[in-house]
Protein backbone atom coordinates (compact mmCIF):
# COMPACT_ATOMS: atom_id res chain seq x y z
CA UNK A 1 0.00 0.00 0.00
CA UNK A 2 1.32 3.44 -0.95
CA UNK A 3 2.26 5.76 1.90
CA UNK A 4 0.15 8.91 2.51
CA UNK A 5 2.92 11.18 1.21
CA UNK A 6 3.00 9.35 -2.12
CA UNK A 7 -0.78 9.56 -2.43
CA UNK A 8 -0.71 13.29 -1.70
CA UNK A 9 2.00 13.73 -4.33
CA UNK A 10 -0.06 11.89 -6.95
CA UNK A 11 -3.20 13.88 -6.08
CA UNK A 12 -1.36 17.20 -6.24
CA UNK A 13 0.31 16.46 -9.56
CA UNK A 14 -2.92 15.03 -10.95
CA UNK A 15 -4.81 18.19 -10.04
CA UNK A 16 -2.23 20.34 -11.81
CA UNK A 17 -2.41 18.09 -14.87
CA UNK A 18 -6.19 18.30 -15.07
CA UNK A 19 -6.08 22.09 -14.89
CA UNK A 20 -3.41 22.28 -17.60
CA UNK A 21 -5.24 19.78 -19.82
CA UNK A 22 -8.49 21.74 -19.55
CA UNK A 23 -6.65 24.96 -20.37
CA UNK A 24 -5.00 23.34 -23.39
CA UNK A 25 -8.31 21.99 -24.64
CA UNK A 26 -9.91 25.43 -24.24
CA UNK A 27 -7.11 27.33 -25.98
CA UNK A 28 -6.38 24.80 -28.72
CA UNK A 29 -9.81 23.27 -29.15
CA UNK A 30 -9.93 24.11 -32.83
CA UNK A 31 -6.70 22.27 -33.59
CA UNK A 32 -7.08 18.64 -32.60
CA UNK A 33 -3.46 17.72 -33.35
CA UNK A 34 -2.07 20.55 -31.22
CA UNK A 35 -4.50 19.69 -28.43
CA UNK A 36 -3.38 16.06 -28.39
CA UNK A 37 0.29 17.03 -28.45
CA UNK A 38 -0.26 19.51 -25.61
CA UNK A 39 -2.02 16.89 -23.48
CA UNK A 40 0.78 14.37 -24.09
CA UNK A 41 3.39 17.00 -23.17
CA UNK A 42 1.46 17.84 -20.01
CA UNK A 43 1.27 14.14 -19.09
CA UNK A 44 5.03 13.74 -19.53
CA UNK A 45 5.64 16.88 -17.48
CA UNK A 46 3.40 15.53 -14.74
CA UNK A 47 5.30 12.24 -14.67
CA UNK A 48 8.61 14.07 -14.34
CA UNK A 49 7.31 16.38 -11.63
CA UNK A 50 5.98 13.44 -9.63
CA UNK A 51 9.25 11.49 -9.89
CA UNK A 52 12.23 13.37 -8.52
CA UNK A 53 14.63 10.62 -9.62
CA UNK A 54 13.51 10.93 -13.26
CA UNK A 55 13.78 14.72 -13.19
CA UNK A 56 17.30 14.64 -11.74
CA UNK A 57 18.41 11.90 -14.15
CA UNK A 58 17.25 13.97 -17.13
CA UNK A 59 18.99 17.06 -15.76
CA UNK A 60 22.23 15.14 -15.26
CA UNK A 61 22.06 13.58 -18.73
CA UNK A 62 21.47 16.88 -20.51
CA UNK A 63 24.91 18.12 -19.41
CA UNK A 64 26.36 15.91 -22.14
CA UNK A 65 24.23 17.56 -24.85
CA UNK A 66 24.58 21.23 -23.93
CA UNK A 67 25.23 22.42 -27.49
CA UNK A 68 21.98 20.83 -28.66
CA UNK A 69 19.84 22.02 -25.75
CA UNK A 70 21.15 25.56 -25.25
CA UNK A 71 18.56 26.95 -27.65
CA UNK A 72 15.24 28.62 -27.03
CA UNK A 73 13.52 31.97 -26.74
CA UNK A 74 16.01 34.44 -25.31
CA UNK A 75 17.37 33.31 -21.95
CA UNK A 76 14.74 30.57 -21.74
CA UNK A 77 16.45 27.52 -23.23
CA UNK A 78 15.78 23.80 -23.14
CA UNK A 79 18.59 23.04 -20.70
CA UNK A 80 17.47 25.81 -18.33
CA UNK A 81 13.90 24.51 -18.53
CA UNK A 82 15.15 21.04 -17.57
CA UNK A 83 16.88 22.54 -14.54
CA UNK A 84 13.77 24.45 -13.54
CA UNK A 85 11.64 21.30 -13.83
CA UNK A 86 14.10 19.35 -11.67
CA UNK A 87 14.07 22.06 -9.01
CA UNK A 88 10.27 22.16 -9.13
CA UNK A 89 10.14 18.37 -8.74
CA UNK A 90 12.35 18.58 -5.67
CA UNK A 91 10.24 21.40 -4.22
CA UNK A 92 7.08 19.35 -4.71
CA UNK A 93 8.71 16.26 -3.21
CA UNK A 94 9.98 18.25 -0.22
CA UNK A 95 6.68 20.05 0.41
CA UNK A 96 4.53 16.92 0.27
CA UNK A 97 6.75 14.25 1.81
CA UNK A 98 8.28 16.59 4.41
CA UNK A 99 11.73 15.09 4.02
CA UNK A 100 14.58 16.87 5.80
CA UNK A 101 17.19 18.53 3.62
CA UNK A 102 20.40 16.50 3.65
CA UNK A 103 23.70 18.31 3.93
CA UNK A 104 27.31 17.21 3.63
CA UNK A 105 30.64 18.98 4.25
CA UNK A 106 31.12 19.15 0.49
CA UNK A 107 27.80 20.98 0.11
CA UNK A 108 28.87 23.65 2.60
CA UNK A 109 32.16 24.07 0.72
CA UNK A 110 30.23 24.55 -2.52
CA UNK A 111 27.97 27.13 -0.87
CA UNK A 112 31.02 28.99 0.46
CA UNK A 113 32.55 28.95 -3.02
CA UNK A 114 29.36 30.37 -4.55
CA UNK A 115 29.28 33.13 -1.94
CA UNK A 116 32.89 34.01 -2.75
CA UNK A 117 32.01 34.02 -6.44
CA UNK A 118 29.17 36.45 -5.75
CA UNK A 119 31.61 38.78 -4.01
CA UNK A 120 34.11 38.55 -6.87
CA UNK A 121 31.44 39.60 -9.38
CA UNK A 122 31.38 43.03 -7.75
CA UNK A 123 35.03 43.54 -8.74
CA UNK A 124 34.86 41.96 -12.20
CA UNK A 125 35.90 43.98 -15.24
CA UNK A 126 33.01 42.55 -17.25
CA UNK A 127 29.98 41.88 -15.08
CA UNK A 128 28.18 40.10 -17.92
CA UNK A 129 31.03 37.63 -18.47
CA UNK A 130 31.30 37.07 -14.72
CA UNK A 131 27.58 36.34 -14.46
CA UNK A 132 27.72 33.86 -17.33
CA UNK A 133 30.63 32.02 -15.71
CA UNK A 134 29.01 32.11 -12.27
CA UNK A 135 25.81 30.68 -13.71
CA UNK A 136 27.74 27.56 -14.72
CA UNK A 137 28.97 27.15 -11.15
CA UNK A 138 25.43 27.58 -9.84
CA UNK A 139 24.20 24.95 -12.30
CA UNK A 140 26.76 22.37 -11.14
CA UNK A 141 26.02 23.21 -7.49
CA UNK A 142 22.29 22.77 -8.11
CA UNK A 143 22.91 19.39 -9.72
CA UNK A 144 25.01 18.30 -6.73
CA UNK A 145 22.28 19.39 -4.32
CA UNK A 146 19.53 17.63 -6.26
CA UNK A 147 21.53 14.40 -6.59
CA UNK A 148 22.19 14.47 -2.85
CA UNK A 149 18.50 14.88 -2.05
CA UNK A 150 17.47 12.24 -4.58
CA UNK A 151 19.93 9.50 -3.65
CA UNK A 152 19.74 10.12 0.12
CA UNK A 153 22.32 7.42 0.79
CA UNK A 154 20.44 4.72 -1.12
CA UNK A 155 22.81 2.57 -3.18
CA UNK A 156 20.18 1.42 -5.67
CA UNK A 157 19.16 4.97 -6.52
CA UNK A 158 22.79 5.93 -6.96
CA UNK A 159 23.40 2.99 -9.29
CA UNK A 160 20.38 3.85 -11.46
CA UNK A 161 21.59 7.44 -11.74
CA UNK A 162 25.09 6.23 -12.60
CA UNK A 163 23.73 4.02 -15.39
CA UNK A 164 21.79 6.94 -16.86
CA UNK A 165 24.88 9.18 -16.76
CA UNK A 166 27.17 6.61 -18.36
CA UNK A 167 24.61 5.86 -21.07
CA UNK A 168 24.43 9.57 -21.88
CA UNK A 169 28.23 9.78 -21.83
CA UNK A 170 28.51 6.89 -24.29
CA UNK A 171 25.99 8.44 -26.70
CA UNK A 172 27.81 11.78 -26.54
CA UNK A 173 31.18 10.02 -27.01
CA UNK A 174 29.94 8.15 -30.09
CA UNK A 175 28.77 11.47 -31.58
CA UNK A 176 32.13 13.05 -30.82
CA UNK A 177 34.16 10.15 -32.21
CA UNK A 178 32.04 10.01 -35.37
CA UNK A 179 32.73 13.67 -36.07
CA UNK A 180 36.41 13.25 -35.21
CA UNK A 181 37.09 10.23 -37.41
CA UNK A 182 34.90 11.70 -40.11
CA UNK A 183 37.43 14.56 -40.30
CA UNK A 184 34.75 17.13 -39.51
CA UNK A 185 36.64 18.45 -36.45
CA UNK A 186 40.26 18.48 -35.31
CA UNK A 187 39.32 17.78 -31.68
CA UNK A 188 36.36 15.76 -30.47
CA UNK A 189 33.80 17.94 -28.75
CA UNK A 190 30.61 15.95 -29.24
CA UNK A 191 27.36 17.67 -28.29
CA UNK A 192 29.37 20.26 -26.30
CA UNK A 193 30.91 23.16 -28.17
CA UNK A 194 34.21 23.29 -26.27
CA UNK A 195 36.54 20.23 -26.38
CA UNK A 196 38.01 21.04 -22.97
CA UNK A 197 34.56 21.15 -21.36
CA UNK A 198 33.68 17.90 -23.11
CA UNK A 199 36.86 16.24 -21.84
CA UNK A 200 36.16 17.51 -18.33
CA UNK A 201 32.67 16.04 -18.18
CA UNK A 202 33.83 12.74 -19.72
CA UNK A 203 36.67 12.52 -17.22
CA UNK A 204 34.27 13.24 -14.36
CA UNK A 205 32.05 10.34 -15.44
CA UNK A 206 34.94 7.86 -15.66
CA UNK A 207 34.85 6.84 -11.95
CA UNK A 208 31.18 5.92 -12.31
CA UNK A 209 31.96 3.74 -15.32
CA UNK A 210 34.75 2.04 -13.38
CA UNK A 211 32.36 1.39 -10.51
CA UNK A 212 29.79 -0.20 -12.83
CA UNK A 213 32.48 -2.41 -14.37
CA UNK A 214 33.93 -3.43 -11.02
CA UNK A 215 30.65 -4.32 -9.37
CA UNK A 216 28.73 -5.66 -12.36
CA UNK A 217 26.55 -8.57 -11.32
CA UNK A 218 27.03 -10.64 -14.48
CA UNK A 219 29.66 -11.11 -17.18
CA UNK A 220 27.34 -9.47 -19.68
CA UNK A 221 26.99 -6.35 -17.57
CA UNK A 222 30.74 -6.21 -16.97
CA UNK A 223 31.39 -6.51 -20.69
CA UNK A 224 28.80 -3.84 -21.49
CA UNK A 225 30.15 -1.31 -19.02
CA UNK A 226 33.74 -2.14 -19.97
CA UNK A 227 32.88 -1.26 -23.57
CA UNK A 228 31.27 1.95 -22.36
CA UNK A 229 34.40 2.81 -20.37
CA UNK A 230 36.61 2.19 -23.41
CA UNK A 231 34.44 4.44 -25.60
CA UNK A 232 34.46 7.24 -23.01
CA UNK A 233 38.23 7.07 -22.53
CA UNK A 234 38.78 6.91 -26.30
CA UNK A 235 36.71 10.03 -26.82
CA UNK A 236 38.48 11.79 -23.96
CA UNK A 237 41.79 11.07 -25.72
CA UNK A 238 40.36 12.45 -28.98
CA UNK A 239 39.62 15.79 -27.29
CA UNK A 240 43.39 16.37 -26.88
CA UNK A 241 42.64 18.25 -23.66
CA UNK A 242 45.90 18.35 -21.72
CA UNK A 243 44.26 19.32 -18.44
CA UNK A 244 41.67 16.54 -18.56
CA UNK A 245 44.15 13.86 -19.67
CA UNK A 246 46.64 14.95 -17.00
CA UNK A 247 43.91 14.75 -14.38
CA UNK A 248 42.86 11.28 -15.50
CA UNK A 249 46.46 10.05 -15.52
CA UNK A 250 47.12 11.47 -12.05
CA UNK A 251 43.91 10.00 -10.66
CA UNK A 252 44.64 6.59 -12.19
CA UNK A 253 48.19 6.59 -10.82
CA UNK A 254 46.92 7.55 -7.36
CA UNK A 255 44.36 4.72 -7.41
CA UNK A 256 46.98 2.14 -8.35
CA UNK A 257 49.65 3.39 -5.93
CA UNK A 258 47.24 3.51 -2.99
CA UNK A 259 45.80 0.11 -4.02
CA UNK A 260 42.26 1.44 -4.06
CA UNK A 261 41.93 -0.11 -7.49
CA UNK A 262 43.67 -3.16 -8.87
CA UNK A 263 44.49 -3.63 -12.52
CA UNK A 264 43.74 -7.35 -12.50
CA UNK A 265 40.03 -7.05 -13.25
CA UNK A 266 40.62 -4.31 -15.85
CA UNK A 267 42.83 -6.78 -17.75
CA UNK A 268 39.98 -9.26 -17.97
CA UNK A 269 40.78 -11.73 -15.21
CA UNK A 270 38.12 -12.78 -12.78
CA UNK A 271 37.96 -11.18 -9.35
CA UNK A 272 38.98 -13.25 -6.40
CA UNK A 273 35.98 -14.45 -4.42
CA UNK A 274 37.47 -17.08 -2.11
CA UNK A 275 36.03 -16.56 1.35
CA UNK A 276 33.92 -13.62 0.20
CA UNK A 277 30.32 -13.10 1.18
CA UNK A 278 27.77 -13.82 -1.59
CA UNK A 279 26.43 -10.24 -1.52
CA UNK A 280 29.68 -8.33 -1.77
CA UNK A 281 28.59 -5.28 -3.74
CA UNK A 282 29.73 -2.16 -1.98
CA UNK A 283 29.96 1.55 -2.68
CA UNK A 284 33.35 2.79 -4.01
CA UNK A 285 34.16 4.27 -0.61
CA UNK A 286 34.40 0.71 0.67
CA UNK A 287 36.80 -0.53 -2.01
CA UNK A 288 39.73 -0.17 0.35
CA UNK A 289 38.05 -2.43 2.92
CA UNK A 290 39.15 -6.08 2.43
CA UNK A 291 36.49 -8.74 2.02
CA UNK A 292 35.54 -10.23 5.36
CA UNK A 293 36.17 -13.95 5.82
CA UNK A 294 33.17 -16.21 6.22
CA UNK A 295 32.81 -17.43 9.79
CA UNK A 296 30.61 -20.32 10.78
CA UNK A 297 27.27 -19.33 12.28
CA UNK A 298 26.36 -22.81 13.40
CA UNK A 299 24.89 -25.78 11.51
CA UNK A 300 27.09 -25.05 8.54
CA UNK A 301 25.61 -21.59 7.94
CA UNK A 302 27.93 -18.61 7.53
CA UNK A 303 27.56 -15.74 9.95
CA UNK A 304 26.49 -12.43 8.43
CA UNK A 305 28.79 -9.51 9.12
CA UNK A 306 27.51 -6.32 10.72
CA UNK A 307 28.37 -4.33 7.59
CA UNK A 308 26.40 -6.68 5.35
CA UNK A 309 23.41 -6.64 7.71
CA UNK A 310 23.38 -2.84 7.70
CA UNK A 311 23.54 -2.69 3.89
CA UNK A 312 20.76 -5.25 3.48
CA UNK A 313 18.50 -3.54 6.01
CA UNK A 314 18.39 -0.18 4.32
CA UNK A 315 20.44 -0.51 1.17
CA UNK A 316 22.15 2.68 2.20
CA UNK A 317 25.56 4.03 1.41
CA UNK A 318 28.21 4.26 4.12
CA UNK A 319 27.88 7.39 6.18
CA UNK A 320 24.38 8.18 4.94
CA UNK A 321 20.97 7.58 6.48
CA UNK A 322 18.83 4.95 4.85
For residue 313, the Cα-to-chain-centroid distance in whole angstroms is 24
Cα atoms in the Cβ-side hemisphere of radius 13 Å centred on 3: 5
pLDDT at 284: 44
pLDDT at 132: 81
β-pairing, 72-73 vs 76-77, is antiparallel
Task: Please give the pLDDT value at position 286.
Answer: 41
- pLDDT averaged per 10 residues, the chain (length 322): 54 59 56 60 72 87 84 73 87 84 92 92 85 86 92 89 93 93 88 89 91 87 92 93 89 81 53 40 41 41 43 51 48
Rounded to 10 degrees, the C-alpha dihedral 221/203/140/197 comes to -130
User: For residue 304, what pLDDT is reported?
Assistant: 43
Cβ burial of 150 (10 Å; 0-12, 13-18, 19+) is: buried
Supply the pLDDT for residue 193. 84
Residue 3: phi, psi to the nearest 5? -75, 160
pLDDT at site 300: 43
Phi, psi of 297 (to 5 degrees): -105, 15
Q: What is the pLDDT of residue 184?
A: 83
pTM, two decimals, is 0.69
Please give the Cα distance from 111 to 104 (Å, whole number): 11
C-beta separation of 72 from 42 below 8 A: no
Measured distance CA(245)–CA(200) in Å, rounded: 9
Q: What is the mean pLDDT of the chain?
A: 75
User: For the segment 86-124, what is each residue's pLDDT rounded down to a tens digit?
Assistant: 898 898 888 888 888 999 999 999 999 999 998 888 888
Write down the pLDDT at residue 122: 86
Per-residue pLDDT at 113:
94
pLDDT of residue 313: 44
Amino acid sequence: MADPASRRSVIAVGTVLVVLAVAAAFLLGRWTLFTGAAIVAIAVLGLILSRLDIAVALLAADFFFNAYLAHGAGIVTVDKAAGAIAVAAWGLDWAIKRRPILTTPQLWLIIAFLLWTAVSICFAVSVKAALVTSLRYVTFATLYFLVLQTVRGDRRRAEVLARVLITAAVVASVIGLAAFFGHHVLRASGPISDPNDFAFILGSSTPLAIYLVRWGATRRSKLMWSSALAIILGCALATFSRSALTGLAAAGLWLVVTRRLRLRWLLGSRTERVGALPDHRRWPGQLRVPLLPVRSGGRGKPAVSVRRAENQRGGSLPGHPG
